[in-house]
A and B are shown apart, each in its own frame.
Chain A
């Protein structure tokens, strides 16, 4: 079959010609996969298996501490943390390290209206760009020096992922033991009545400060509002309790976890504390 001669070959024709050249070149002067490439693959795979065994061994030998406490922390963390407890008092939401960048992205978009951007928006756009890459960059050119845009984009992507991961790793989680030390300070600046004290202690220990800031303490996450002067909004004890039991039932779409497991008495204490928080003076 004779091809109809064209003035200038189209992009796809050129790409096809190049691939046919590639096939011919590989056939004429390539080398067989076995043993050449396979030899390198095997060595690399052995290295991978050794690294994995090495990490497992390091984890074991440094974590198995005195008295064989499974929660003792070694170089690479403990064997296991204490059992899950929904009515917990120390809430440290930490994903595995390869989600740190997402985790930190959430802290950048702190305003409630924009949380959606951090949680779903930016990752979705990034994923679409990644999948679409072969269709965005359709040139045949593969040499690095002739692909400046791709190279700059790559460096920026790697840098921002590294920075986000690093910031996520070092982000200060508000630990219950540290936050509870702030309670007397809260009583002072907020002029809290004594019946708000049990609620204040609960607030410091139940993990609320992992997402909410209060009188300068805690860290903001997931777009949770500052609660320093939540009482000035006079939402009412009933509302507070219902919200804590099921945040998304009263504020649709709320990402705040349910705290129904704290029990009615403690929820009431929390509500009293929240309503008494009229702002720092």
Chain B
């Protein structure tokens, strides 16, 4: 980022210039070797429709809720013991005791567990609200069909995360809800009994079930969700977000419906209605 001077630069100016180069050096280094800086810059400074609405913050709100779950979950995993065996000293199951210990004795443990417990509900609610917004906006239509499907998969995974997490405190509610839930899976034809057997890890719900649910809850499903969210966000950035359908200046509106084009100086209309296919060939993949 060298500055050019019409006259000989003063000492102060030269020092300033060297400072700037020093600060930019790591970024330039990274950019030259990865292109990541350009990527982030594209993400931040890409245009979105000028009429985006508050409802369109629900997706990033869901992302925030997911991050809260991930962070609090990692902390909980440091203190939680997924064991259904009985602690000989107290006669209580080890998993249940570790939950009570986290909530009552670990510093700020109640906050971490409370945020994880209630954050789960908030996450599910936000996913449903976000899905409702996408439906309302008709934003699942061409070319965003694939992103809708990715979204539905995230929703299903999110609910499975809730189901597997519910058992972990190993209390009465948790245990019996899982008994019923697993038996429900068992009623499905063909795969049902096999799936129920797999989830239980045996004939009865016990220690094997708990460790299985724990591994699904903290490894398998979160990894799947992270992968799906990455794909989801990639598609959002590539395809852009939709204008509210009721907006007077919705991006991509039919030419006939608009005010005369002259009312908006500087607006280019490279695509006449009948030449859509050509326009897409000129702009491969619709990238801008």
Contacts and interface: CB of A to CB of B under 8 A. Distances in A.
Interface of A: 1-3, 5-6, 9, 12-34, 36-38, 40-41, 43-45, 47-49, 51-53, 55-57, 59-60, 68, 70, 76, 79-86, 88, 90-99, 102, 106, 115-116, 119-120, 127, 130-131, 133-135, 137-144, 147, 150, 154, 158, 207, 222, 246, 248, 253, 255-258, 260-261
Given A19-B143, A127-B156, A94 B65 contact: no
27 contacts: A17-B273, A19-B286, A22-B251, A23-B240, A29-B251, A30-B251, A32-B44, A40-B56, A41-B57, A44-B58, A52-B118, A55-B114, A68-B104, A70-B103, A70-B104, A79-B100, A82-B172, A84-B96, A88-B176, A98-B162, A134-B144, A138-B141, A144-B136, A144-B246, A222-B180, A256-B183, A258-B204
Nearest to A139: B141
Chain B interface size band reads 35 or more
Contact of B288 (A27, A44, A137): A27
B93 A83 contact: yes
B252 A33 contact: no
A48 B61 contact: yes
Contacts of B221: none
Nearest to A153: B135
Nearest to A41: B60
Contacts of B203: 246, 258
Interface stretch (B1-9, B12-20, B223-231, B264-272): B264-272
A40 B47 contact: no
Contacts of B180: 93, 95, 222, 255, 257
Given A20-B280, A92-B173, A222 B274 contact: no
Interface string B19-43: 0000000000000000000000001
Nearest to A131: B152
Given A21-B271, A25-B49, A119-B184, A3 B277 contact: yes
A99 B281 CA distance: 47
A172 B83 CA distance: 32
A175 B214 CA distance: 30
A222 B100 contact: no
B230 to A, nearest CB: 18
Given A57-B114, A119-B184, A134-B149, A260 B204 contact: yes
B177 interface: yes
A64 to B, nearest CB: 8
B96 A253 contact: no
A21 B252 contact: yes
A44 B96 CA distance: 35
Interface in B77-129: 84, 92-93, 96, 99-100, 103-104, 110-111, 113-115, 117-122, 124, 126
B44 A119 contact: no
Contacts of B266: 28-29
A18 B252 contact: yes
Given A6-B274, A257-B183, 6 more contacts: A23-B288, A96-B120, A96-B162, A96-B166, A116-B188, A255-B187
B248 to A, nearest CB: 12
Interface of B: 43-50, 52, 54, 56-58, 60-61, 63-65, 68, 84, 92-93, 96, 99-100, 103-104, 110-111, 113-115, 117-122, 124, 126, 132, 135-145, 148-149, 152, 156, 159, 162-163, 166, 169-177, 179-181, 183-184, 186-189, 192-193, 203-206, 240, 242, 245-246, 249, 251-255, 264, 266-271, 273-281, 283, 286, 288
A142 B137 contact: yes
B242 A261 contact: no
A142 B115 CA distance: 38
B114 A34 contact: no
B187 A26 contact: no
Nearest to A120: B188
B176 A91 contact: yes
A25 B241 CA distance: 12
Given A33-B45, A253-B193, A261 B117 contact: no
A256 B176 CA distance: 12
B140 A130 contact: no
Contact of B187 (A5, A45, A120, A158): A120
B48 A31 contact: yes
Contact of A120 (B93, B141, B192, B267): B192
A150 B172 CA distance: 42
Contact of B286 (A23, A90, A98): A23
Nearest to A116: B187
Contacts of B140: 133-134, 137
A262 B252 CA distance: 67
Contacts of A79: 100, 103-104
Contacts of A91: 172, 176
Contacts of A222: 180, 183-184, 187
Contacts of A84: 84, 93, 96, 170-172, 174-175
Contacts of B245: 142-144
B187 A119 contact: yes
B73 to A, nearest CB: 13
